A and B are shown apart, each in its own frame.
Chain A
Amino acid sequence: MDYLYYLRKEKMPHIWCDGCGHGIILKSILRVIDKLGWEKDDIAMVSGIGCSSRTPGYVDFNTLHTTHGRAIAFATGLKIVKPNLHVIVVSGDGDATAIGGNHFIHAARRNIDLTVIIYNNYIYGMTGGQASPTTPIGKKASTAPYGNPDAPFDISRLAQAAGAAYVARSTVYHVGKTDRYIEQAFLKKGFSVVEVMTPCPTSYGRRNKEGNGVEMMMFQKKNSVGVERAQKMSEEELQGKIITGVFVDKEQNNYLQRYDEVIDKAKQINQ
């Protein structure tokens, strides 16, 4: 396929550091869009702030680069006004689960028909490596020089508990899985989340002595466990592992359907 067809070539090369996984996720998104044959004008990509949130700047779709944590709020408005648009939110672990955490869980609860792709690199990459809600216990961050004392969120489990219709996790190394999950998420009518684990060698890897992008991807290759196998493993065995797979895939009425029902009811009552 021709990736360049979907890019704003004048904006390239992108700002992401060498070995950053964000570009690999963008490629997966573009491959799926190409496979599904979606027209560029029928897509809206929405983001907040962060390295990951720079993604819409590089793609030739309708794009909206909003304020930190608020991408889902903007995307919700967009989807309600233009329900035929394919609305894709791209977000970082900080953007989606720290400042934007409430938007995230409530959009899941509402089951608004959006796909949120979360680039989880365990850190605030853009601002130099402050701890995020997914930084594991003990890992170093600029705000946790002696190790992070906070327990992390499991974003996929959070989305599941909040009521999302589709939830899956992959890593940038497992590019085939990432493609498959993004395709399933795009086709889902309802709130769908794909969490992709991605290396930030600059603001996380270096400080935690996890090496460059290649070494961090080697770690993903060696330490990922499929969700079925993970169910047979103990807490101890799962320490430090990345559980990948589809966690939720269910049919339920989405927000737009329920909203239409409310409008119909109101019309009947007011006739």
Chain B
Amino acid sequence: MKKISKITINEKWCKSCEICVQFCPKKVYDMGRFYPVIARPEDCIACKLCEKLCPDFAITVTSPDKAESNKK
């Protein structure tokens, strides 16, 4: 099975600016009603651009080799 990145969004800090949605090179996110939705996590290349550009410290991306969820 293809390993995928672990992405978390802290909705308590997110201000819905959509920077992550618009600048992700792989279009992993869709904008939801209030917060971004991680619509295509399997497309994530773990470049962490969304994490770096989120002004609100609301996104964490853990690359597949480090993602806990894959250690099954």
Residues of A within 8 A of B (CB): 3-4, 7, 12-14, 16-24, 27-28, 31, 172-173, 175, 212-214, 217-218
Contact = CB atoms under 8 A, between A and B. Distances in A.
A210 to B, nearest CB: 15
B19 A217 contact: yes
A23 B52 contact: no
A24 B23 contact: no
Given A22-B55, A31-B52, A214-B18, 18 more contacts: A13-B15, A14-B56, A18-B17, A19-B15, A19-B17, A19-B19, A20-B55, A23-B54, A27-B57, A28-B52, A172-B53, A173-B23, A212-B18, A213-B17, A213-B19, A213-B55, A214-B17, A214-B23
A214 B13 contact: no
A10 to B, nearest CB: 13
Contacts of A214: 17-19, 22-23
B57 A17 contact: no
A30 to B, nearest CB: 9
Which size bracket describes the interface of B in this complex? Answer: 10 to 19
B12 interface: yes
Contacts, number: 60
B16 interface: yes
20 contacts: A3-B57, A4-B57, A13-B56, A18-B16, A19-B17, A21-B55, A22-B55, A23-B56, A24-B54, A24-B55, A27-B52, A27-B55, A173-B53, A175-B52, A212-B18, A213-B55, A214-B18, A217-B19, A217-B23, A218-B22
Interface of B: 12-13, 15-19, 22-23, 49, 52-57
Contacts of A28: 52
Contacts of A218: 22
Nearest to B20: A214
Nearest to A201: B17
Contacts of B19: 19, 213-214, 217
A18 B22 contact: no
A213 B13 CA distance: 17
Nearest to A23: B55
A196 B18 CA distance: 21
Nearest to A19: B17
A7 B13 CA distance: 13
